[in-house]
Chain A
Amino acid sequence: MAENEYIYYPGCSLEATAIEYNMSVRLIFKALGIKLVEPDDWSCCGSTPAHSVDHVFAGALAARNLAIVEKMGASTVITPCPACLSAFKKAHLRMVDNEEFKKEVNELLEVPYECGVTAKSVLQVLLEDVGLEAIAEKVTTDFPDLKVAPYYGCIIARPPEVMQFDDPENPVAMDKILTALGVEVCDFAFKTECCGAAFGVVKKKMVNELSSKILNMVLDCGANCLSVPCQLCQQNLDLRQDQINATMHASFKLPVLYFTQIMGLAWGYSPRELGLDKHNVRADHLIRSKRSIEEKRREEEEKAKTKKGKGKKGKVKKKPKAPKTEDKKAETKQPEAKTEEA
């Protein structure tokens, strides 16, 4: 298939609740002159309750889509959704190193999957294929008020042997991209902490606690919004924020943006094109003041302060000023321990 073209699997939620993620992704790839081709007749990725009930079935759901991609003669499929991604990768890897499983799965498929497709996240291809230079080149606008906490969620880099991308404990892919955009990225400690989305329906109370911890940490690290690559996190933290405020006696007002939306903004697209109006917590106040990067450069040259990292090892990050924080209850959910699969 052509150089500047990707097979693009949006996944169910990007057609609905997370349509703005879809919009922004398509927009930036358009801007990059890269065509996104949807596989015809793509179906559920299997990251539904299926995988907790029947591995073969879940595998087959994923493999069906991979088989379609394979038939299109492509060796890579990209998806914005971490859940789809992990479903694809899990099924693929399992089929590769377990002939038996592969057979069972393919028996359920009209088109067998021959394990010739690598699934990648939109995040990964933007970082690895497109590259930071290309991303930085396109930047036109700077938003001085924007202070972003990069929140990755639990699965985009975990388990490492499955996702094979970035650091499972301290992912940095999104940080790099945001930095390349000239956005101020805060040192956010809860990058991969569980937001509880999975229990959204059954254990509201716990979810609220977990989410509020994350939002607290956002404030603690001096950020005023979150950037996410996962629509489940987005939905959970954005849609649920009022509920969290209510149950946790907090008053968060933290916009939860897709990193692709922030890219779009920095590249000069309008909030509407990027579907920012679709969020529950609006980011308008953060993006109201903006300037062209030329202005930015000029202003910065004026206050030419040189700050150098000292010593050999890791440069010293500036201390985040800790604003209002309540809630220091020891009761929290155990963050996902590193998975131990031989």
Chain B
Amino acid sequence: MRVGVFICHCGNNIAGTVDVAKVAEEARNMPGVQFATDYMYTCSEPGQEEIKEAIQREQLDRVVVAACSPRMHELTFRRTVEKAGLNRYFFEMANIREHVSWVGEDKDLNTNKAIEAVKLAVEKVKQNKPLFPSSFEVNKRVLVIGGGVAGMQAAIDCAEGGLQVVMVEKSPSIGGMMARLDKTFPTVDCSICILGPKMVDVSQHDNITLHAYSEVEEIKGYVGNYQVKIRKKATYVDWTKCTGCGECTEKCPSKDAYDHFNYGVAPTTAITIPFPQAIPKKATIDPTYCRQFVRGKCGVCAKICPADAIDYEMKDEIVTEEVGAIITASGYGLIDLDRLPEYGGGRYPDVVSGIQYERLLNASGPTEGHILRPSDKEEPKTIVFVSCAGSRDKSIGIPYCSNFCCMYIAKEAILTRDHIPDSKVYVFYMDIRSPGKGYDEFTRRAQEEYGVRYVRGRVARVFPKGKKMIVKGVDTLLGTQIEVEADLVVLATAVTAAPGAPQLAEKLRISYDQHAFYVESHPKLRPVETNTSGVFLAGCCQGPKDIPASVGQGSAAAAKVLSLFSRDMLESDPAVANVNINVCVGCRKCINTCPYGAIEEEELRDGRIVAKVLETVCAGCGVCTSTCPCGAIQLQHFTDNQLLAEVNALCLS
């Protein structure tokens, strides 16, 4: 065995707290090590050249690089050794940066730890076997989860790229949050006017199949070959017949249904079409309010529907779609007003959320664009905006900034002044966060041109006094407490992960952080990839972001899918389970425990039953290997002997 070891300084990142020269020197004495050296930046072009040359010069047959995390550069170096003629699995990485130099202060201890990390890798690599990927076909269809602006952008870009797209939207219409906005910052452009055309593109594109009012039920398979079960929820209206004429919504007698689209600013009818530009423009019945369901009799809509589309008997329907990749753009949620009792959230009708206010501003909203306060439908003269309502607030478990509130508050403030010229508008803020093209200018316009009064300080309490709401807070610039008598209070409620985000993540087998936002492969360099190959992220499911950022991610995710699909065959990771039929006793324990059903029985000529791995289905978790009593089934690259070699390297000394 001729192992070559390369210790990376990573500038000072490693060399700063690890004696790399000593590590290299120690490495030279390790059994099987032929050559060891340290280098400034091993991942650099010359650094990789050095490795290739050494492989030739020293006839190395195994390579160990001690540098950063393998999650960072394993692939880079595998390619390097492959270029030099070695099998890419004759390579191991010792993580002496994230796990050593960056977490330990004592140089001696770090150096010793690094030496052992190298020893570990050397012992492992000596056990490594050459592995060769097999290739399989790709199903060039893509599933887009979520019909918000990010999802729509992704869908359109994929469709334009010639891919078949399946879009799943859980609400009755696509459009997402943007469809609810009145205007967009910083241009004060009409939101639905710029979104509408995209929505139409989605609905009319030959390559896009839209499942509205549907949710992902189950996802099976792997990159290139996913099977997705989709639940089409019962709308109780036959959409093939419904013309969207809207007569039913006018005649519907139960008028106190919660209006999901308008965030309950005003009640709506049990049968609704969410908004004029809805796509598809079809009616949906909410059985929790519909009298036909609640009282068992009514049937008004059924009677008056000219297309006779009403079907109270309708049931959920499950459809299965086969795709090769998935883009999840499942969006975000907002915290409930009730979680802000100090602001009277949920208790006082005249304390509303930012998104509710958008609907009050919007011409197609319940007030037809006249700002009327919910309690008495009067026009408010003094409006107070409270930013960071829940955001950046550890005490309710939301330490992060919701990203776009500062901007939409400025926008809503400006619009308020437009709607009600004689209004007084206050904004309580912690900081004004406006880092974007034309953003800061915009917040300044709000203050300078529109005379919005920005108060730097937090609000302590909001309470009613007569018809007014008293907003009690502090002005940190004046260093005093202030009270504002408001007619209407608008809270910039904190952005949260979308309801049900964790459940979806579990179906997708991607990970999510403690706030249930989805985790990207790398925060800087792989922002739309996930650790599950074939699954990509777009928009706010990954974290709060504004429209341009979401659209950008939508296109980015689409680009990723297009490049993934640019090949007809994909290479499967050869690090999968493998059965030694001479040892297998056919006890079937692996078959019963495999999470993927990737193992089947095989009858040998002598009639013996043994296990057989379906290479493309196996995902390489290794549960089978730790289940097999006789060690007959071994996960390649993580075999018992490879792990035992590592354990022994550490323990037997």
Q: Any chain A CB within 8 A of the CB of B303?
A: no
Inter-subunit contact B460/A319 (CB<8 Å): no
> Which B residues are CB-close (under 8 A) to A339?
395
Inter-subunit contact A311/B464 (CB<8 Å): no
A55 to B482, CA, bound (A): 36
Q: Name the CB-closest residue of A to B338.
A: A314
> Which A residues are CB-close (under 8 A) to B480?
330-331
Interface residue ranges of A65-89 to B (CB < 8 Å): none
> Which B residues are CB-close (under 8 A) to A190?
461, 463
Inter-subunit contact A337/B346 (CB<8 Å): no
Given A160-B395, A187-B347, A310-B256, does the pair A330, B483 have CB atoms closer than 8 Å?
Answer: yes
Q: Any chain B CB within 8 A of the CB of A20?
A: no
Given A217-B463, A310-B267, A319-B466, does the pair A328, B347 have CB atoms closer than 8 Å?
Answer: no
Q: Name the CB-closest residue of B to A216.
A: B465
Given A310-B267, A313-B264, A339-B395, does the pair A334, B342 have CB atoms closer than 8 Å?
Answer: no
Q: Name the CB-closest residue of A to B467.
A: A319
Inter-subunit contact A313/B266 (CB<8 Å): no
Q: Which of B348, B463, B467, B482 has the most CB of A within 10 A?
A: B463
Inter-subunit contact A311/B264 (CB<8 Å): yes
CB 8 Å contact bits of A278-320 with B (1 = contact, 0 = none): 0000000000000000000000000000000011111011011
Q: Any chain B CB within 8 A of the CB of A220?
A: yes
Inter-subunit contact B395/A317 (CB<8 Å): no
Inter-subunit contact B461/A189 (CB<8 Å): yes
> Which B residues are CB-close (under 8 A) to A164?
none
Q: Any chain A CB within 8 A of the CB of B197?
A: no
Inter-subunit contact A319/B464 (CB<8 Å): yes
> Which A residues are CB-close (under 8 A) to B466?
220, 319-322
Inter-subunit contact A335/B460 (CB<8 Å): yes
Q: Name the CB-closest residue of A to B458.
A: A337
Q: Name the CB-closest residue of A to B347.
A: A314
> Which A residues are CB-close (under 8 A) to B348?
317
Q: Any chain B CB within 8 A of the CB of A169?
A: yes
Q: Quote the shortest CB–CB distance from B106 to chain A (angstroms).
A: 25
Option from A311, A320, A322, A338 in Cβ contact (under 8 Å) with B266: A311
Inter-subunit contact A189/B375 (CB<8 Å): no
Inter-subunit contact B483/A328 (CB<8 Å): yes
Inter-subunit contact B464/A187 (CB<8 Å): yes
Q: Quote the shortest CB–CB distance from B233 to chain A (angstroms).
A: 20
A311 to B265, CA, bound (A): 8
Q: Name the CB-closest residue of B to A333.
A: B481
A197 to B556, CA, bound (A): 60
Specify the main secondary structure of chain B where it touches its partner. mixed
Inter-subunit contact B258/A312 (CB<8 Å): yes
> Which B residues are CB-close (under 8 A) to A167?
341
Q: Name the CB-closest residue of A to B348.
A: A317
A1 to B341, CA, bound (A): 39
Q: Any chain A CB within 8 A of the CB of B349?
A: yes
A338 to B470, CA, bound (A): 20
Q: Name the CB-closest residue of A to B267.
A: A311
Q: Quote the shortest CB–CB distance from A310 to chain B (angstroms).
A: 6
> Which B residues are CB-close (under 8 A) to A332?
472, 481, 483
A192 to B141, CA, bound (A): 58
Inter-subunit contact B464/A320 (CB<8 Å): yes
Q: Any chain B CB within 8 A of the CB of A340?
A: yes
Q: Quote the shortest CB–CB distance from B262 to chain A (angstroms).
A: 11
Option from A189, A328, A330 in Cβ contact (under 8 Å) with B464: A189
Interface residue ranges of B433-485 to A (CB < 8 Å): 460-461, 463-467, 470, 472, 474, 480-483
Inter-subunit contact B464/A337 (CB<8 Å): no
Q: Quote the shortest CB–CB distance from A168 to chain B (angstroms).
A: 8
Interface residue ranges of B295-354 to A (CB < 8 Å): 337-338, 340-342, 344, 346-349
Q: Any chain A CB within 8 A of the CB of B394?
A: yes
CB 8 Å contact bits of B536-549 with A (1 = contact, 0 = none): 00000000000000
Q: Any chain B CB within 8 A of the CB of A170?
A: yes
Q: Quote the shortest CB–CB distance from B209 to chain A (angstroms).
A: 33
> Which B residues are CB-close (under 8 A) to A319?
375, 464, 466-467
Q: Name the CB-closest residue of A to B341.
A: A170
> Which B residues are CB-close (under 8 A) to A340?
394-395
Q: Quote the shortest CB–CB distance from B336 to chain A (angstroms).
A: 9
Q: Name the CB-closest residue of A to B480.
A: A330
Inter-subunit contact A189/B463 (CB<8 Å): yes
Inter-subunit contact A312/B395 (CB<8 Å): no
Inter-subunit contact B460/A312 (CB<8 Å): no
Q: Name the CB-closest residue of A to B473.
A: A334
A220 to B463, CA, bound (A): 11
Inter-subunit contact A312/B267 (CB<8 Å): yes
Given A167-B341, A170-B342, A220-B465, does the pair A337, B460 have CB atoms closer than 8 Å?
Answer: yes
Interface residue ranges of B246-303 to A (CB < 8 Å): 256, 258, 264, 266-267
Inter-subunit contact B258/A317 (CB<8 Å): no
CB 8 Å contact bits of A231-270 with B (1 = contact, 0 = none): 0000000000000000000000000000000000000000
Option from A187, A321, A335 in Cβ contact (under 8 Å) with B461: A335
A317 to B267, CA, bound (A): 18
Inter-subunit contact B395/A338 (CB<8 Å): yes
A29 to B341, CA, bound (A): 32
A65 to B463, CA, bound (A): 40
A46 to B464, CA, bound (A): 38
> Which B residues are CB-close (under 8 A) to A313?
258, 264, 337, 346
Inter-subunit contact B465/A322 (CB<8 Å): yes
Interface residue ranges of B329-383 to A (CB < 8 Å): 337-338, 340-342, 344, 346-349, 375
A167 to B481, CA, bound (A): 24
Given A217-B463, A337-B460, A340-B394, does the pair A312, B481 have CB atoms closer than 8 Å?
Answer: no
Which 8 A-B pairs give the minimum distances between C-beta atoms? A189-B463, A170-B341, A312-B258, A169-B342, A322-B466, A169-B341, A338-B395, A314-B346
Pick 6 A–B contacts, CB within 8 A, sort by A: A187-B464, A190-B461, A190-B463, A319-B467, A320-B466, A331-B480
- In addition to A170-B347, A317-B347, A319-B464, 8 A-B residue pairs with Cβ atoms within 8 Å of each other are A169-B340, A170-B342, A310-B256, A310-B267, A313-B258, A313-B264, A316-B349, A316-B375
